[in-house]
């Protein structure tokens, strides 16, 4: 139905653009990881010294593992918060469903930065939460671990990514034909049994997609640590950022970026495999 | 033959869902509340409500410059992303070419990769090409990264389309070009608007990629970021509240439009017993 | 349109009804979907709920299954209150209209679902599942996923999945409506034979009156949420209670007229009828009208002259549309007789003009 001319005309522009402005840049990043910096200048000498540095210096491993722990916590907490909310909205909210859905989405329109800033004002020693706790006589002095800690980073990122996880799972749940739920009950399964045997398996694609999204984006986040992480909450992307900034070492930064990229890609690959297994078209 | 079953009560779940809901809204509420607080962003409870921060905001030149910059970049990004995204969606939907799978994954990559990686990669490219960092490079970054959003949305829209309509058009004598303008594009109206709105929003809020591509002129998020580094001021609460208000209005408007266009169809569905 | 005094079918196994619907009403917001329904279903019978869309037949089914609650009235099964139980505690199983097979389970696991979930002894499950598979002739597809099966195959699996639990009552929600005509006819006879063989009570919902006639021991015709008539297929066809029933089930001619001084007059037709003076409507089935080649009528017959306007050939029979004059059109079904043109004499027995309420 579509001529070759049509198909070429349609495919060429995006291919060219994406090739030039995505493939090439990512390729450059990859290439940089094999170069080095000497005396403040880039040396195009191909070697593995950056990767060696990463493997031998324990600092990088420590920060990377901390980052992965934070990302994992964010993923878990978002799931624990987002799934029940999505489930409730999908199966129990009746006529108001569309309205509630929009209400959950609205905070997404509030800027990431602004929400992080809000948490900063809430969690600080002079902040709203401490103010409230003292006002209600629950504590007598400001609690300090709330801000400038990994806890704060996890809290902020969970807040950011729960709506995304919600969206993904909600879409999946909405796709489950209601007759399946009725059939399950008809055959004798109560609500809990129906959930574990029918609803949960069929919502897996959405769950996996949402969880991966939350994990991967938390892994590479550098803004949250700068806002609320303090020194104990530094993540791997912050190191990359300084290497591209104050500490001028682009190749090393590129190497770490490549590592993050590899972790991301393997996770995506894994999720894709799992999704295929769990999707029942 | 669908019936609306009365929703069964699930009290524990309802309470939990409400708590999650409250958690999601807490910072937003605090933000708005404290934008009216005379004593700034701290302590509890807020006393002495005032509009001073808003007055300060309106007199703040650099902020409004950055708003203008953001709007320009966002508008341009929407134009670029939608155009290229439309081409990409059409290509993915209708053409087979070598490297199609790679292309599809590549286009979607900026969506799932942490922004820092895309931002740094583009920075390297910019440096290599000798370009100066400016709003143009920011536009480049946004436009490129957000093609993924446009492609996803438009591809879904194309899939939902009735292929028979295009065949009918050709049958009636229209050329492929005419068919595209008269049939395909109008059918994609909803997807285009949805994608456009989403891209606009994401561009206005974009920080990670922008961080590395920004020149002398700031976008709004970067302007706010700069001030945050210097210290907290409720003026930021004020500007955030305004952004929030505008967003809510936009959502309501879009919602109304969408409901009107699907209104007749929904009516028909609701009337079936 | 009365819903009392439901006659019991002749071949009832037990004396007490299996299921009793007692003055059940259902309202969705302002809409009254079911109005004061009372119905008894005998053990072992095949009862069909027949009606157009919007008649409430599916709602009634869902009330019995447990997916809706009655706004008024009660439902009892084997002497115990049913409507207060949730669906998973009722000894009732449903075959859904679009089968609702679990896509993430294969055929065997779909069928075993009810058994597993209710804690049937593990050792029993495989054999019971196999029996069910054999009963619907799907044994060779035991390991397949539903998405690989055709509509008819899915339907059999849905049936097996429900029956393996040995419910007291099986509900079938238009299970054959998604199948094409030939497959549908085949499944109808298989379903009937199956029900006879295992003896489980079937409550079947359909909008297809031919299907209802073919399968049922009794038909309950629903109209706008109320029971129009409940009777066996032969009874309901031969003696429709109302004009609606007469038209819904099979084809008929509705003759509007009046009775005066013991003479019934409908357009050009008149015949003696011992009843009080009043307006009347009569149902006259097309196949009860015959050609009258010699022009002579018997004493218990009505003769009339009409012009053939249209003739539709149907293989074994012809369907004629004839004009009796003064705008009165009738449909006549005759055995195949070759093309007929012009005016002809027709007769029918007075006894075949069934008086129906409007």
Sign of CA dihedral A137, A142, A146, A147: positive
**Above 60 in pLDDT, residue B71?**
yes
Angle between helices C151-163 and C107-117 (to 10 degrees): 20
**Nearest residue of chain A to residue C93 (CA atoms):** A186
- State residue B263's pLDDT score: 58
- State residue B269's pLDDT score: 57
Q: What is the pLDDT of residues C324-345, one digit of tens each?
A: 988 889 999 999 888 888 899 9
pLDDT > 70 in chain A, percent: 99
CB spacing of C100 vs A179 below 8 angstroms: yes
> Helix count (H) and strand count (E) of chain A?
15, 2
| The token pair that represents C75 in the structure block | 């439902």
- State residue B273's pLDDT score: 45
CB spacing of B34 vs A213 below 8 angstroms: no
CB spacing of A109 vs B248 below 8 angstroms: yes
CB spacing of A26 vs B13 below 8 angstroms: no
- State residue C34's pLDDT score: 95
Whether C111 contacts C132, CB under 8 Å: yes
Q: How many CB pairs under 8 A join A and C?
A: 70
pLDDT: is C13 or A9 the higher one? Answer: A9
C-alpha triplet A212, A214, A220: angle, nearest 5°: 100
- State residue C33's pLDDT score: 94
**Above 70 in pLDDT, residue C12?**
no
Strands C354-356 and C343-349: unpaired
C-alpha triplet C47, C50, C53: angle, nearest 5°: 145
Candidates A182, A187, A278, partner chain C, best to mutate (most C CBs within 10 A):
A187
Residue C272, Cβ neighbours under 10 Å: how many? 13
pLDDT category at A3 given cuts 50, 70, 90 is confident
B5 contacts on C by Cβ (under 8 Å): 67-68
Q: What is the pLDDT of residues C198-242, one digit of tens each?
A: 999 999 999 999 999 999 999 999 999 999 999 999 999 999 999
**Nearest residue of chain A to residue B167 (CA atoms):** A1
- State residue B232's pLDDT score: 67
Shortest CA gap B268–chain C (Å): 14
Output phi, psi for B227, to 5 deg: -70, -35
Average pLDDT value over all residues in chain A: 88
Residues 6+ apart with CB under 8 A from B235: B53, B56, B57, B60, B63, B227
- State residue C6's pLDDT score: 39
Q: What is the pLDDT of residues C112-159, one digit of tens each?
A: 999 999 988 999 999 999 999 999 999 999 999 999 999 899 999 999
- The mean pLDDT value for A106-132 works out to 81
- The mean pLDDT value for C67-78 works out to 94
- The mean pLDDT value for A204-231 works out to 93
Task: Please tell me the distance from the alpha carbon of residue C253 to that of residue C281, in angstroms, as a whole number.
Answer: 10
**Above 80 in pLDDT, residue A183?**
yes
**Above 50 in pLDDT, residue B6?**
no
**Above 90 in pLDDT, residue A278?**
no
CB spacing of A7 vs B95 below 8 angstroms: yes
Helix, strand, coil share (%) of chain C residues, nearest 5: 25, 35, 40
Task: Name the least confident of A141-155, A256-270, B144-158, C83-97.
Answer: A141-155
- The mean pLDDT value for B83-109 works out to 87
- State residue C29's pLDDT score: 87
Average pLDDT value over all residues in chain C: 91
pLDDT category at A1 given cuts 50, 70, 90 is low
Phi and psi based region of residue C201 (left: phi greater than 0; alpha: psi -120 to 50; beta: remaining): beta
- The mean pLDDT value for A117-144 works out to 79
- Look up the pTM and report it: 0.85
CB spacing of C53 vs B1 below 8 angstroms: yes
Task: Please tell me the distance from the alpha carbon of residue B70 to that of residue B53, in angstroms, as a whole number.
Answer: 22
pLDDT category at A196 given cuts 50, 70, 90 is very high
Tell me the three state secondary structure of residue C322: strand
- State residue B162's pLDDT score: 72
**Which residue from A25, A105, A159 is facing B124, i.e. has the nearest CB?**
A25
Residues 6+ apart with CB under 8 A from C357: C1, C241, C242, C243, C281
**Above 60 in pLDDT, residue B49?**
yes
Residues 6+ apart with CB under 8 A from B15: none
Average pLDDT value over all residues in chain B: 84
- State residue A182's pLDDT score: 95
pLDDT category at C94 given cuts 50, 70, 90 is very high
**Which residue from C53, C62, C174 is facing B3, i.e. has the nearest CB?**
C62
- State residue B272's pLDDT score: 47
**Above 60 in pLDDT, residue B1?**
no
**Above 70 in pLDDT, residue B5?**
no
- The mean pLDDT value for A117-127 works out to 81
Q: What is the pLDDT of residues A49-70, one digit of tens each?
A: 888 888 888 989 899 999 999 9
**Above 60 in pLDDT, residue B94?**
yes
Question: For the residues of B54-71, what is the DSSP string, one character each?
Answer: HHHHHH-HHHHHHHHHHH
Q: What is the pLDDT of residues C22-72, one digit of tens each?
A: 999 999 989 999 999 999 999 999 999 999 998 999 999 999 999 999 999
Task: Name the least confident of A51-55, B43-47, C88-92.
Answer: B43-47
Polymer length in residues for chain C: 358
Chain C (102-121) residues lying within 8 Å, Cβ to Cβ, of chain A:
102-104, 113-114, 117-118
Tell me if chain A has a CB within 8 Å of the CB of C147: yes
- The mean pLDDT value for A156-168 works out to 94
**Above 80 in pLDDT, residue A8?**
yes
**Above 90 in pLDDT, residue B197?**
no
pLDDT > 70 in chain B, percent: 89
Q: What is the pLDDT of residues C246-260, one digit of tens each?
A: 999 999 999 999 999
**Above 90 in pLDDT, residue B36?**
no
- State residue C163's pLDDT score: 95
Task: Please tell me the distance from the alpha carbon of residue C195 to that of residue C201, in angstroms, as a whole number.
Answer: 8
**Which residue from A119, A131, A244 is facing B27, i.e. has the nearest CB?**
A119
Whether C216 contacts C46, CB under 8 Å: yes
């Amino acid at each position: 139905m579509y001529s070759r001319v049509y198909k070429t005309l349609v495919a060429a522009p995006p291919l060219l653009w994406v090739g030039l402005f995505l493939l090439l840049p990512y390729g450059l990043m990859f290439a940089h990881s094999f170069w080095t910096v000497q005396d403040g200048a880039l040396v195009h000498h191909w070697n593995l010294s950056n990767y060696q540095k990463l493997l031998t210096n324990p600092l990088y491993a420590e920060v990377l593992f901390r980052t992965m722990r934070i990302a994992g916590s964010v993923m878990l907490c978002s799931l624990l918060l987002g799934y029940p909310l999505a489930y409730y909205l999908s199966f129990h909210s009746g006529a108001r469903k569309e309205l509630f859905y929009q209400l959950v989405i609205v905070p997404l329109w509030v800027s990431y930065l602004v929400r992080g800033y809000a948490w900063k004002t809430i969690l600080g020693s002079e902040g709203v939460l401490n103010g409230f706790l003292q006002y209600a006589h629950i504590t007598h002095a400001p609690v300090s671990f709330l801000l400038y800690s990994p806890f704060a980073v996890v809290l902020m990122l969970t807040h950011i990514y729960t709506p995304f996880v919600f969206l993904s799972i909600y879409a999946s749940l909405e796709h489950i034909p209601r007759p399946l739920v009725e059939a399950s009950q008809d055959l004798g399964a109560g609500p809990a049994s129906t959930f574990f045997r029918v609803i949960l398996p069929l919502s897996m694609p959405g769950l996996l997609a949402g969880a991966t999204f939350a994990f991967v984006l938390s892994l590479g986040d550098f803004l949250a640590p700068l806002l609320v992480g303090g020194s104990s909450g530094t993540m791997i992307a912050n190191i990359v950022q300084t290497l591209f900034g104050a500490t001028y070492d682009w190749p090393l930064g590129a190497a770490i970026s490549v590592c993050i990229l590899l972790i991301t890609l393997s996770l995506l690959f894994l999720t894709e495999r799992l999704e295929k297994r769990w999707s029942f078209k | 033959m669908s019936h609306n079953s009365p929703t069964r009560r699930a009290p524990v779940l309802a309470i939990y869902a409400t708590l999650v809901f409250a958690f999601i809204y807490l910072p937003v509420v605090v933000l708005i509340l404290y934008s009216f607080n005379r004593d700034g962003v701290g302590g509890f409870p807020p006393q002495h409500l005032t509009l001073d921060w808003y007055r300060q905001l309106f007199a703040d030149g650099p902020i409004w410059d950055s708003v203008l910059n953001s709007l320009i970049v966002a508008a341009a990004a929407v134009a670029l992303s939608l155009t290229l995204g439309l081409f990409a969606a059409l290509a993915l939907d209708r053409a087979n070419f070598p490297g199609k799978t790679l292309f599809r994954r590549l286009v979607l990559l900026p969506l799932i990769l942490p922004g820092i990686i895309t931002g740094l990669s583009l920075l390297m490219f910019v440096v290599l090409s000798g370009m100066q960092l400016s709003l143009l490079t920011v536009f480049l970054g946004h436009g490129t990264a957000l093609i993924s959003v446009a492609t996803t949305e438009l591809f879904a829209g194309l899939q939902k389309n009735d292929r028979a309509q295009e065949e009918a058009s050709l049958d009636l004598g229209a050329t492929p070009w005419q068919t595209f303008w008269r049939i395909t594009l109008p059918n994609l109206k909803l997807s285009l608007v949805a994608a456009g709105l989403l891209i606009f929003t994401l561009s206005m809020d974009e920080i990670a990629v922008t961080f590395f591509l920004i020149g002398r002129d700031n976008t709004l998020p970067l302007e706010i970021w700069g001030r945050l580094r210097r210290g907290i001021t409720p003026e930021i609460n004020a500007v955030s509240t305004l952004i929030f208000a505008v967003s809510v209005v936009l959502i309501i408007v879009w919602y109304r439009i969408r409901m009107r266009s699907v209104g007749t169809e929904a009516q028909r569905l609701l009337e079936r017993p | 349109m009365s819903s009392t005094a439901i006659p019991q079918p002749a071949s009832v196994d037990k004396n007490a009804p299996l299921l009793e619907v007692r003055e059940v009403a259902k309202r969705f917001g302002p809409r009254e979907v079911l109005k004061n329904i009372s119905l008894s279903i005998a053990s072992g019978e095949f009862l069909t709920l027949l009606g157009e869309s919007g008649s409430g037949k599916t709602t009634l089914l869902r009330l019995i299954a447990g997916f809706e609650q009655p706004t008024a009235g009660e439902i009892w099964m084997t002497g115990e209150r049913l409507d207060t139980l949730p669906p998973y505690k009722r000894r009732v199983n449903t075959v859904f209209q679009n089968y609702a097979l679990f896509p993430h389970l294969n055929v065997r696991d779909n069928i075993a679902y009810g058994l597993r979930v209710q804690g049937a002894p593990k050792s029993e499950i495989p054999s019971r599942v196999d029996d069910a598979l054999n009963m619907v002739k799907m044994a060779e597809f035991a390991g397949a996923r539903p998405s690989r099966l055709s509509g008819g195959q899915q339907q059999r699996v849905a049936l097996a999945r429900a029956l393996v639990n040995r419910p007291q009552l099986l509900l079938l929600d238009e299970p054959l409506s998604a199948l094409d005509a030939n497959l549908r006819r085949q499944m109808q006879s298989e379903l009937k034979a199956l029900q006879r063989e295992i003896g489980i009570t079937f409550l079947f919902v359909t909008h297809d009156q031919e299907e209802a006639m073919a399968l049922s021991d009794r038909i309950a015709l629903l109209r706008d949420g109320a029971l129009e008539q409940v009777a066996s297929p032969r009874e309901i066809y031969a003696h429709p209670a109302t004009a609606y029933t007469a038209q819904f089930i099979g084809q008929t001619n509705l003759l509007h007229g009046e009775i005066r001084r013991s003479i019934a007059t409908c357009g050009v037709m008149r015949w003696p009828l011992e009843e009080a003076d009043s307006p009347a409507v009569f149902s006259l089935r097309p196949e009860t009208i015959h050609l009258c080649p010699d022009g002579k009528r018997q004493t218990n017959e009505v003769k009339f002259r009409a012009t053939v306007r249209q003739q539709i050939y149907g293989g074994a029979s012809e369907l004629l549309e004839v004009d009796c004059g003064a705008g009165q059109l009738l449909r006549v079904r005759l055995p195949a007789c070759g093309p007929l043109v012009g005016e002809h004499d027709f007769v029918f027995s007075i006894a075949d003009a069934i008086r129906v309420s409007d």
